[in-house]
Amino acid sequence: MGGPRVAVIGLDCGTPQLLFEDLADEVPNLRKLMESGMHGELASITPPITVPAWACAMTGKTPGQLGIYGFRNRKDTTYEGLAIATADAVREPAVWDLLGARGMRSLLIGVPPSYPPRPVEGWRVSCFLTPPSAKAWTHPVELAAEVEEELGPGGYIFDIPNFREQGLDVVLERVFQMTERRFRVARRLVRTKPWDLFMMVEMGPDRLHHVFWQYVDPRHPKHEPGNRYETAFQDYYRLLDRELGALLETLPDDAVTIVMSDHGARPMMGGVCFNDWLIREGYLALSEEVQGVVPVAKAPIDWARTVAWGDGGYYGRLFLNVRGREPQGVVDPERYEEVRGELAAKLEAMPGPDGEPLGTKVFKPQDVYPDVRGVAPDLIVYFGDLAWRSVGSVGNPSIYTYENDTGPDGANHDRGGIFAMTGLPGQPTGEVQGLKLVDVGPSILHLYGLEAPEGAVGRSFL
């Protein structure tokens, strides 16, 4: 079967404000690609989280349809906490599955979630979820030898473990190394493999933004003018653009090329201690006082007197303790909607530390997804409309904090990612409005003359 070759270069956390405006002069190769085709802000999913965002992009389906609501998810309705979403959690067909069924081959490098590396018609290098102990991180297994031939044994960097706690100089050095090495592998494999679809995702921008945003952005409450990391974004994006340019030169002339991200970033103004707020409002009860700050998973929760509890992260997840659903549920199912609505209203009315409304937005999964599978949060909470993160621990001295419970972090995720595409005869040009992440996979399939998978909410914008 014929069709174009499509190359997708994913920049995790690529942010329109930075790449289209503030740092546009640092990324001439990206700017040239934008000017020769179409570009625009790409509306992410609810919530804008790496896992599931890339999976939603490539299946055309929502987190509700995938049953994946974040990097970690409830695996059942017990109180056992959350489990990391692996590649096995994605059960809907992605672009490469539909191409593979027609004999077309895909070359995939670091596309989340791809650990463990499931078989694909073609070649796959696993993503940032790959643990250091992983025995197999490519498909086929022999592909690892080619990666190590290029970089040396152990040279490939999947991610920066515990990046919030490594120290600034270490993280900066590793981000540069990770990006340079991933692009080097991409250039080699793009040349040596007969692919129909190529896709890679680089995690460098995400790690850079979370660790260094407060050093770069004067709007950040912790910004100190004249600090030695003020040029970290400029320096990194110059390197990234050079790597992007070298890869673009390696791609075949007839390739349709897409550069995109899964979500953007914004300065994090602080954190809301979600469970401490629930305790104060009378929805969460402890069986004993805690000494100091304790993760919610280890907190002595008195489930028989608890109506709701929350989880931390870039957005808040609220779970109701429902009779007949949770082991010691107390919320009568007939009062479920009443209690859920009451909590949503209180959260949206919550003031900030200055007494003014924080601007929190609350979503019911059933209102934002056509299907709700798996164990979804009962409420999805954007504290300060994503200006504040959700802190899940209990025993904090205040409801508001400027320290993150999982290590220093200067950025939160934002709704808007980036999209740029060139190389398709007759394609739209210039800045395009209304682009959505879930439309990307169906748009790529359209280039091959294929329909979006059954049930996809995404639609081709081509």
Structure confidence at residue 81 as a pLDDT band (50, 70, 90) = confident
Q: Which SS3 state, helix, strand or coil, does residue 439 take? A: helix
Residues 6+ apart with CB under 8 A from 204: 11, 12, 175, 176, 178, 179, 236, 240
Query: Can you give the pLDDT at residue 406?
Result: 63
In 3-state terms, what secondary structure has residue 169?
A: helix
Segments of 29-114 assigned E as strands: 38-43, 72-74, 82-84, 106-109
Q: Give 405's pLDDT tier (boundaries 50, 70, 90).
A: low
Q: pLDDT tens-digit profile of 117-130?
A: 999 999 999 999 99
Helical H segments across 287-411, by residue range: 336-349, 365-368
Whole-angstrom distance, CA of residue 252 vs CA of residue 287: 64
Q: Are 297 and 394 contacting, i.e. CB atoms less than 8 angstroms apart?
A: no
CA atoms within 13 A on the CB side of 460: 16
- Does the pTM surpass 0.85? The reply is yes
24-33, 117-126, 164-173, 332-341: range with lowest mean pLDDT:
164-173
Partnered with residue 265 across adjacent β-strands are: 413
- Rounded to whole angstroms, the Cα distance separating 394 from 213 reads 26
What is the mean predicted confidence (pLDDT) over 155-161? 94
Tokens of 252: 């075949």
> Could you report the per-residue pLDDT of 274-289, keeping only the tens digit for each?
999 999 999 999 999 9
pLDDT in tens, 219-270: 999 999 999 999 999 999 999 999 999 999 999 999 999 999 999 999 999 9
* pLDDT tens digits, 346-393: 999 999 999 999 999 999 999 999 999 999 999 999 999 999 999 999
pLDDT at 408: 72
Q: Is the pLDDT of residue 2 over 60?
A: no
Domains of the chain: 6-268+413-447 (3.40.720.10), 270-407 (no CATH)
Q: What is the dihedral of CA 56, 62, 63, 66, to 10 degrees?
A: -80
pLDDT tens, residue by residue, 176-232: 999 999 999 999 999 999 999 999 999 999 999 999 999 999 999 999 999 999 999
Count CB atoms within 10 A of the CB of residue 194: 8
From residue 394, how far is each of 277, 349, 384, 422, 450 by CA, in Å?
A: 9, 21, 20, 49, 50
Q: What percent of the chain has pLDDT over 70?
A: 98
Residues 379, 362 contacting (CB under 8 angstroms): yes
Whether pLDDT at 88 is above 70: yes
Residue 164: pLDDT band by 50, 70, 90 thresholds?
Answer: confident
Confidence of residue 294 (pLDDT cuts 50, 70, 90): very high
- Between CA 190 and CA 361 the distance in angstroms is 43
The whole-number pLDDT of residue 407 equals: 66
The confidence score (pLDDT) of residue 1 equals: 43
Cβ pair 128, 159 in contact under 8 A: yes
Q: Please name the residues in contact with 279: beta carbons below 8 A apart, sequence gap of 6 or more.
A: 285, 286, 394
